[in-house]
Structure 1
Amino acid sequence: MSTENTIGIFDSGIGGTSIWKEINHLLPYENTIYLADTKNAPYGTKSKDEIIAYSIKNTEFLLNKNAKLVVVACNTATLNAVAVLREKFDVPFIGLEPAIKPAALQSQTKNIGVLATQASIQSENFKNAVLNFPDVNIIPQIGYNLVQLIEQGHIDSPEMDQLLQQYVQPMVEKNIDYLVLGCTHYPYLFDKIKAIVPPTVQIIDSGEAVAKQTKHILESNKALNLSNKMGQNLFYTNGNATVLKSILGFTTNVFESDF
């Protein structure tokens, strides 16, 4: 495997770009390919079998583009499909899970909120994570329609504000001091959520931890790109690229592809 091969990253849509940004910030010399399966977003409302099928298809696309490592930049896909991917393909996979552990260990009120998709909250992995902290009151909230609004470019909309108030305020009233963002789309709502919660509530996601784990795995496999040339970053979507370009803040190297 060439160290110049790419880091492959996929998500059900544009949300995983929040993970790509963290990886690109920490590893600027790595080549990356980001895959947005926009046509099938959101994964959070799909069955486990559907999520596995989409994840296999996405991985095959990235491996055909010479991925040396695959980041499953989607909590829903990680919780439902990453074990299957690790059995089926001979490359390292890095998955995402809601940052329940650090929140639970650091919480002073012993009440933490988790905002995530339906498929994530209903997964066995999520239920097991909750069981690991019996002394902490973990309050799950499904973020119905949040991903759809983000994918449609409606982050700054009255409907988004109304939904966030509806989902977050009840958790605040239960005395949470940590709010875990359990979907890679949700960091794009950080400022809106921050405006709802009191300053005593910490909002956390998995982006920085995933970037550090990516670096660690590449170093362990002697696959880190040691060149001092800035990496090439390519983005593919099987939907309309307009929102993807908007959230990235640039239009170059963003392609529509019917994969």
Structure 2
Amino acid sequence: MVGVYDSGVGGLSVWKELVALMPGQDYVYVADSAHCPYGEKSPEYIVGRADAVTRLLLEKGADAVVVACNTATAAAISYLRASYQVPFIGMEPAVKPAALASVSGVVGVLATANTFKGSLYRDTVMKYASGITVIEKVGRGLVEAVEKGEIPRGLVRRYVDEMVGEGADVIVLGCTHYPFLEDEISRCAGPSVRIVNPAPAVAAQTMRVLDGHVSGTGTRKFYSTGDTAVLRSLATGIDPSLSPADFETISI
């Protein structure tokens, strides 16, 4: 069974790609929506939440965990790997493919404040984008909107216009919530700007870590520390066979 963890519903963008690659796999998903967003919380707080969620995922039978949250990956994945024996797959900043794809030499990265502060992001930029101008845009308000099932068109337009206005011809979705805004981001950016979503690459890495091994019969179970309405709506949009019984509110 593969456990998938996010601060909220955003990790469903990764789960969607996992299911596309490994539909027969069993999945358990935890949305820590009662504590979302993580974007500007302390690293210590995020590590504590990641630890609590991981313990729940292991109790539910997960033998691998996808940390489908850029902010939690940046703050907690080193701790998790040192603390538990199961493999952990985290989110990659996707700066390398963006830098390779850019013609203008300017890449926009839309992410949370804590993702930008993390050493994983900084090291990736230094290694793969040393000759590229990287515009870092903190997407304040976007996670909150997705958690409500909303598309904040005004905010998206503002952030995209600022990046494109500075010459970006590639925009990286540096938070797993943002693929749910990808159509609006693409519409605002225009056809000449490429959007990079790291989720497919993370799903492919998960399959490599599992060595293609599929365990189970394709069961899915979803837990949230908050309301499950938006989680249920988005997940059912990905897999219409899901039923209300597949969703549960928990307290951890």
Matched-pair contact (CA < 8 Å) for 1:73–1:96: yes
SS of the residue 1:134 aligns to = coil
Q: Kindly state the Cα deviation for residue 251 of structure 1 after the two structures are TM-superposed.
A: 4.0
Q: CA deviation at 1:226?
A: 6.2
Query: Retained in 2: the 8 A contact 1:164–1:193?
Result: yes
Write the distance in 1 (CA, Å) between the matches of 2:92 and 2:37.
17
Q: Residues of 1 paired with 2:176 and 2:202: CA distance?
A: 11
Greater mean alpha carbon deviation, residues 142-151 or residues 120-129: 120-129
Task: Give SS of 2:63's match.
Answer: strand
Letter in 1 for 2:48: A
Task: Determine what percentage of the aligned residue pairs are the same residue.
Answer: 40
What do you get for the CA RMSD once the two structures are aligned? 1.3
1:232-251 residue CA offsets vs partner (Å, 9 max, x unmatched):
01000011111111111254
Alpha-carbon distance, 1:97 to partner: 2.1
Distance in 1, Cα, partners of 2:202 & 2:130: 26
Residues 117, 144 of structure 1: 8 Å contact kept: yes
Distance 1:257 1:171 in 2: 39
Which whole-Å CA distance do the structure 2 matches of 1:92 and 1:213 have between them? 11
Residue identity in the other structure for 1:104: A
Unaligned runs of 5+ in 1: 1-5
Give the aligned partner of residue 107 of structure 1: 102
1:79 maps to amino acid? A
Contact 1:79 1:97 in 2 (8 A): no
Q: Could you tell me which residue of structure 2 aligns to residue 208 of structure 1?
A: 200
Q: 1:1-259 counterparts in 2 under 5 A?
A: 6-132=1-127, 133-155=129-151, 160-219=152-211, 224-225=213-214, 229=217, 231-249=218-236, 250-252=242-244, 253-259=246-252
Contact residue 9 and residue 177 of structure 2 kept, 8 A? yes
Does the CA-based 8 Å contact 1:98-1:205 persist in structure 2?
no
The separation in 2 between residues aligned to 1:112 and 1:70, in whole angstroms, is 30
Secondary structure of the 1:78 match is: helix
Given that 2:111 and 2:136 are in contact with CA atoms closer than 8 Å, whether structure 1 keeps it comes out as yes
In 1, Cα distance between the equivalents of 2:107 and 2:243? 38
TM-score normalized by the length of structure 1:
0.91
SS at structure 1 position matched to 2:233: helix
Question: How far apart, CA to CA, are the structure 1 residues paired with 2:124 and 2:208?
Answer: 24
CA contact (8 A) 2:25 2:219 kept: yes
Per-residue CA distance 1:33-78 (angstroms, 9 max, x = gap): 0000001101112111111111111110001111110000000011
Contact 2:26–2:215 (Cα < 8 Å) also in 1: no
In the superposition, the TM-score normalised over structure 2's length comes to 0.94
Structure 1 stretch displaced more, 34-43 or 117-126 = 117-126
Which amino acid letter does the alignment assign opposite residue 77 of structure 2? V
Moved over 3 A (4+): none
